[in-house]
Amino acid sequence: MTLKGTFHALVAIFCWGLFVYWWNSVLPQVDSSEPVIALLFIAATVLATVLVTVLWVRYNIGIFRRKGPRKSLTRVTENHDTDFLGRRIERPPGPESLKTARLVVVSVEGEAKKYDVAQVAQV
């Protein structure tokens, strides 16, 4: 076991010990119906978590059965002419001016999104 794994195990043991200690401090102070309600809530939470996990796994298995195993990454084409909403993008010539600018102003004018390099005043 690595040093990191040992540390994680010690933290987990300490946390479980703290959990048991606090429950032993709390249980004598409550009547018998309150722990039953808490256990029912915990059981419902565990059941909901298992159900959501099973549904998620079935969903992913369905994708695998329809599309088969992944053999490569999905091709992504970078379109720098329009934005996500389909607006035309206008920018100064040469991408370096935007990459090195201290301040870039983005504005929407009609059906176009415009990127400009702003001049920063020297103080």
**pLDDT per residue over 73-96, tens digit each?**
888 877 778 888 889 998 888 767
Confidence of residue 119 (pLDDT cuts 50, 70, 90): confident
pLDDT(27) > 90: no
Share above pLDDT 70 across residues of the chain, in percent, rounded to a whole number: 98
If one counts every other C-beta atom within 10 angstroms of the C-beta of residue 27, the result is 10
Q: Rounded to 5 degrees, what are φ and ψ at 23?
A: -60, -40
- The structure's pTM equals 0.42
Identify the pLDDT of residue 86.
Answer: 87
> Which element (helix H / strand E) includes 120?
none
